Amino acid sequence: MTYRFGDFQNFDFQNFGKQRLEAVSTAYSSFAKSWQTIADDSAKYSKKSFENGSALFEKLLSAKSFEDTLQIQSEYAKTFFEGLVEYVTKTSDLYANLAKEAFKPVETGVTKVQAFKD
């Protein structure tokens, strides 16, 4: 498709620029909020993991037999992997939402330009 200068006479460039700036500002705010949530969740998981590891060490020191040690380790492994799966699932959802929010302004801008073109 070829454009001529007259094709853009009815297009409000100033309003379009203002809308883009507002969209980018909103996206940045959402982006920062999502990153903060991810960082908070990661810090909580790290703290909990450290606490669980410390508790494991204390339990292992109090084990009376080899069988007790194996039992303590298997309980810890089960708890660890359950927590890990929960953390990874939640974090992957947060990253997916982060990507959606990051591309919303681009999607909106493309839609508006396409609407003008048509």
Domain assignment present for residue 104? The answer is yes
Whether 72 and 59 have beta carbons less than 8 Å apart is answered as yes
Cα(85)–Cα(75) distance, integer angstroms = 16
Domain assignment present for residue 25? The answer is no
Question: Hunting for tokens 């003008």 — which residue is that?
Answer: 116
The answer, as to whether pTM is greater than 0.85, is no
Domain assignment present for residue 54? The answer is yes
- Distance between the two ends of the chain, CA-based, in angstroms? 11
Compare 70 and 25 and report the one with higher pLDDT: 70
Q: What is the pLDDT of residues 43-61, one digit of tens each?
A: 999 999 999 999 999 999 9
% residues pLDDT > 70 (the chain) = 77
If we measure between CA atoms, which residue out of 16, 104, 77 comes closest to residue 8?
16
Query: Domain count of the chain?
Result: 1
Domain containing residue 100: 38-117
